[in-house]
Structure 1
Amino acid sequence: MVQQKDANKEMRQPFAGLRTILSSKELLDFAFSRAKKEAMKVSAKLPKEIMVRRKETTRIETAGKALVEKLQSVLEDMPQLDDLPPLYRELADTVVGVQSLKKNLGALKWAAITVGNIAKSYSRRTRVADGIDEASNARRSAYGRISSVIKQISGNLDYLRDSRSKLAKLPTFSTDVHTLVVAGYANVGKSSLVKQISSAKPEVDSYPFTTKEIMVGHGRVGERLYQVVDTPGLLDRPLKNRNKIELQAILALRYLANCIIFLLDPSETCGYSMEKQLNLFKEIDEEFPDTPKIVAMNKIDLAEKEALEKIKAMFPEVYPLSALTNEGVRNVLEAALSKAGNINLG
């Protein structure tokens, strides 16, 4: 029996936990505000010169510590890029560029070290400052240098903020369960099929190209989990001409697929001729020769009998179905799971 609820509760993609990254202005405002509040805790009963030295020292140390901690939290949040599963490393490379990510993270590491050193150096000066003016001037100088460092990484912070947003949207894949990848042109019914055989609830509309990104659903047969991946339209053209979403689909096929369900629309109401659909199947078959595949015909309730017979004659094994009415869906799932990992629906 197939169970769809809660099958993906424990799964998380490696970039899901990235926290919000502040801009350079937000970082400085946060650090200097915290420093000012902390300095107000210094006792006003102390002799004025001692009080000022302590206040200025506290402001430098607190601001420096706050900035270093914020920068280090960004570095610690990011998973080790070289240790990522190949799928997620290449997805990250596709979406933001792994080398660019490393370069910008390196800039933050430099800034954290530099700010820490500036704070340490100037806090020593304020402690031994000869008078109120010298202590205040040292703090202003420290703030100036710290601000300069943070402003230098403004572009790096902006890049990482944008990257975080993109990486957090990557789909959650499990690399240790059997995976069915649904392929075929847009509007052939891939989203509807995924909805029928897994927990995924994609937005399904009658207009072409409604599925804009990879969608993942999960299911369970007894104690064995499986996942179903819905790909965007893999158009019949060279890889170099594909957009990022299409590249994601190819990566899903390459790294995940234990079985590819190729969905045909013999009614051609998807907007693509059977010739184009068959060319697409041929391209995928050639690119992934070692991956098991099944061919399924959707919208059998709309297709002409002659069109259905032609497809049956082309393939030794083909599965008719209607994802809309659920007719034939179980047969497709059973065949795909059998090829993916000898899983029997029972």
Structure 2
Amino acid sequence: MPVLNNIQALNYALMQEMERDPSIVVFGEDAGYEGGVFRATVDLQAKFGVDRCFDTPISESGIVGMAVGMAINGLKPVVELQFCGFTYPAFNQIISHVSRMRNRSRGKYTLPMVIRFPFGGGIRALEHHSESPEALFAHIPGLKVVAPSTPYETKGLLLAALRDPDPVIFMEPKRIYRAFKQEVPEEDYVIEIGKANIVKEGEDITIVTWGAMVRDTLKAVEKANEKGIHPEVIDLRTISPIDQETVIQSVKKTGRILVVQEAVKSFSAASEIIAFVNEKAFLHLEAPPARVTAPDIIVPLPRGEQFYMPHPDMIYEKINEVVNFLT
């Protein structure tokens, strides 16, 4: 069984699925010859040729618009947009066409396409490189939004996205692209889109998180365990559709909810999670729902990044606060 990091798992999944399905084409800025800015698509052009893995002009709207036409006409495009902040020029195509084609055509056309891009901070990048815009995409009906947290999850979720009949926004937490390795099965497997994963069982508090924050949350939980606190940690995996059932059942067991996200606080995925917990599990709560998030500011340039991003100590302090509410 190969031991891979997240970048290698992405490449591994693309390689396997392109061999299985000749309709898949991969393209984006530097995605062909160079293999992408982070090398997620390395060797794909050498193996499958320039017709199936190629470079594009620097025009995100044009890249996604071209993918729309391809998907309608029988191909399965995999678009790589270099950074999260570069998705904004493509918003018109994503909102006006990608998300609406099934509804517009009354089901005659679907768009089996994947739009991939790295997101989040932690690598001291430039402006427009470190946003966490999952809530922007999750707000749009017709899009599925996925954010894996480990190499195993990355391969299984990407294979599921590549086989989905509808468009999937596949957000890759770049801070953990090469942070650690994990055994990833060679054989084919998929992880269901829309199904969360209970990473660690517990009974004192439910913690919901995703992407790079899963790793930081587990570090905080180790410290909490030393103090006799046993959180239950849920990796959401999919921001949309969101797995409300797994979260609600956990909250009914623990009586407390903490959401950890790298994105800004207001109008966020964390806000939505707390809203449906209040709607469906209010009488089970023993403490107010809580969040650990970035502040409501633009991501600072590298020198100030460490003051912006949530970290394990912040998460531990909030765990302790919620568990000891009114005690």
TM-score calculated relative to the size of structure 2: 0.28
Return the index of the structure with the highest Cα Rg. 1
Between 1 and 2, higher relative CO (CA 8 Å, sep ≥ 6) is seen in 1
Comparing both structures, which one devotes a greater share of its residues to helix? 1
